[in-house]
């Protein structure tokens, strides 16, 4: 099992200010702006601030009815199924899998209550 990337997701009612902070305050590129021309994304507001290689990023989204406020740490791994099996053997209770966006995703909560997911690319 190998950790390939880390994603951090913040959904909150201050998203516009946070995105402005990342874009203008820190001068980071919001790659989500490039996706807003995709069909179905019109009018959707958010921020994705990625590493150069695209392996890790921070996401910021406005909270709402379909996206409740919260934080999530996402671990990108080489094999989510193997990690889930390992976690279960350690007495943990990962939920899933859910296949979405070309990834196999499991959800779990850390001992401190941090919402987490771990995911890997789906095989073609």
Q: Using 50 as the pLDDT threshold, list the residues of the chain that sit under it.
A: none
The reported pLDDT for the residue numbered 34 is 63
Global confidence as pTM: 0.83
The reported pLDDT for the residue numbered 124 is 78
The reported pLDDT for the residue numbered 3 is 97
Give the strands of the sheet with 95-100, arranged side by side.
Answer: 47-50, 57-62, 3-12, 70-77, 115-121, 103-109, 95-100
The reported pLDDT for the residue numbered 109 is 96
pLDDT digits (tens, 9 = 90+) for 28-48: 999 887 665 555 555 667 899
3-121: CATH architecture: Roll (3.10)
């Amino acid at each position: 099992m190998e950790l390939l990337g880390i994603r951090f997701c913040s959904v909150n009612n201050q998203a516009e200010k946070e995105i402005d902070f990342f874009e203008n305050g820190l001068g980071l590129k919001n790659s989500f702006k490039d996706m807003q021309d995709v069909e179905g994304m019109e009018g959707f507001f958010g921020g994705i601030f990625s590493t150069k290689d695209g392996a890790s990023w921070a996401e910021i989204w406005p909270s709402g009815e379909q996206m409740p406020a919260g934080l999530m740490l996402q671990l990108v791994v080489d094999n989510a199924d193997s990690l889930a099996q390992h976690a279960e053997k350690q007495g943990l209770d990962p939920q899933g899998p859910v296949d979405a966006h070309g990834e196999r995703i499991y959800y779990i909560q850390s001992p401190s209550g941090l919402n987490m997911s771990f995911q890997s690319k789906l095989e073609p």
